[in-house]
Structure 1
Amino acid sequence: MTRLYSILPLLLASTACEQSPSNKPAPISAAEVTTPIIDPNSSSTSLLDVDQKSMSDKIDGFTQTPPVDNSIITIQEYAIDKPATWFWVPPKSLIVSANYVVPSVGKNESALFSATFFNEGEGGHFTENIERWKSMFRNNEGAPIKPEIVVIEVNGHDAVVAEFHGEYMGAGAAWHLKDHALLVAEVREPTGNFYFKVIGPRETLNAHKEAFLQAVKSMRKLN
């Protein structure tokens, strides 16, 4: 079982919960990141299936070098503004273009942000992916959850954001995590589809939801 939140293959209500002074995201070091996540190199079905024949195309975008400009998150020829408290960690999968630790709130563990890119025709349709992500959660009574879906404007056109919360079961994992959440934004551009995700304790995601939305909305093409 993977215990580092610096690995994710992964794979929202439009308003964020207000933070009280006691719930302000606390600084955190990489050594403190302990929330389990899905191993992108495992045999389990990932949140976004990738055709193996296209993996070589992703090698150029894979790096373990910290970004030169710490104020933005770059993916392909695009960038989004980086929330001030998030910090970079090296991605452990060719599928993931960028990983950032999202600091914990209170006694909760940290969350993880990931950015992925798929060429047109890869990664599946968003509605199909929603069903896959939905299957990874259940409510406290063990019943299926109903994701919240909103449309936002990104780079001059519509993008879709989905929020899932409940008991996180992973992709067929034996371990479950209560009160967890997943935020996913899909942005379609002429070059392909971009997915921005944050997964972690629900309280942590609630505290960072507005920062996540503002970051996604800031997406623009680099000159």
Structure 2
Amino acid sequence: MNGIRRGRYALLVLGAAVAGLVALGGCERESKSDSVPASPKTGGARPAASEQPAPSEDDLAAMREGVRRETGLSAPSSTAGLPANHPPIGGPLPVPPAPRTAQKDYVWDAPADWQSQPPRSAMRRAQYLLPRVAGDAADGELVIFDQRSLSGGGGVEDNLARWRGMMTAADGSPLPPEATTREDFEVNGMRVAMIDVSGRYAPSQMPGMPASDPLDEARMLAAVVQADGQVFYIRATGPAPTMAAHRDGFKAFLSSFRPAP
């Protein structure tokens, strides 16, 4: 009886040992199947797809050149088929522009007889018709530009010199310096430089603007108003008698410039 019991116990121990070996072999196979083989070039773990470096612009250019040599055709660029302003595929993302800081705006009062008109150019901030006086064949015109609409506009002296150059003697020769009257003053904390010059008006042709015929016996009133964070460039031209009638209104107009409430 004791021999039979010892035999059964030995069979149980042997069975448990075999089961353990089978389980251990299965774990080994699972461990081997789950491992990632090393890359033969780097000797380390194979990088994930998201870690692969993007091709450089030089690489893309080399590939396009290879296609061109092989086929005689130009390969599409890295932006072909993409929406406008889309960055090149594989290229760096564009840097977003810095947010614009708030800037003051300004207002003014035009004389009651000046007629506001739609500006003839997107560069003009405003435009007015100055009614002619009896005997003149044309009205005067006043236009306002500002530093923002011109993306700059230049310095005070440069603009005054350019405006003076639009006025010549009757024969087209330059006017002498004494033909120009200049006034410098302040209004509401803003510096104003104003010129008054008479002669033959021969405006320079601006790109995208209709050509203007020269005007004999003309007069120009022009000014640069330097405000806080903004500069206004103002020019009024027309027949001399008409501009003489609007000179006081022009100075009152300049004196009315002020920050918007």
User: Which residue does the alignment assign to 1:113?
Assistant: 142
User: Which residue does the alignment assign to 1:94?
Assistant: 122
Higher RCO (CA-CA < 8 Å; seq separation 6+):
1
Unmatched 5+ residue regions in structure 2?
1-99, 206-210
Query: CA separation of 1:198/1:175 partners in 2, compared to 1, >3 Å: closer, same or farther?
Result: closer
User: Which residue does the alignment assign to 2:192?
Assistant: 159
Query: CA separation of 1:194/1:174 partners in 2, compared to 1, >3 Å: closer, same or farther?
Result: closer
Q: Is the 8 A contact 1:161 1:183 kept in 2?
A: yes
- Asked if 1:123 is matched to 2:156, the reply is no
Q: Is the 8 A contact 2:184 2:191 kept in 1?
A: yes
The runs of 4+ residues in structure 1 deviating greater than 6 Å are none
Query: CA separation of 1:174/1:114 partners in 2, compared to 1, >3 Å: closer, same or farther?
Result: closer
Over the aligned positions, Cα root-mean-square deviation in angstroms equals 2.2
Greater strand content: 1
User: Which residue does the alignment assign to 1:83?
Assistant: 111
Greater helix content: 2
State the Cα distance separating 1:123 from its structure 2 match.
Answer: 0.8
Matches for 1:58-73 after TM superposition, within 5 Å:
none
Of 229, 234, 237, the residue aligned with 1:191 is 229
Unmatched 5+ residue regions in structure 1?
1-56, 58-75
Q: Is the 8 A contact 1:196 1:216 kept in 2?
A: no
Select the structure of larger CA radius of gyration. 2
Query: CA separation of 1:88/1:127 partners in 2, compared to 1, >3 Å: closer, same or farther?
Result: same
User: Which residue does the alignment assign to 1:220?
Assistant: 258
TM-score, with structure 2 as normaliser: 0.53
State the Cα distance separating 1:179 from its structure 2 match.
Answer: 0.8
TM-score, with structure 1 as normaliser: 0.61
State the Cα distance separating 1:217 from its structure 2 match.
Answer: 0.5
Matches for 1:136-175 after TM superposition, within 5 Å:
136-145=166-175, 146=177, 147-171=180-204, 175=213
For 2:212 and 2:109, the matched residues in 1 are separated by 36
User: Which residue does the alignment assign to 2:38?
Assistant: none
For 1:88 and 1:217, the matched residues in 2 are separated by 18
Identity of aligned residues (%): 28
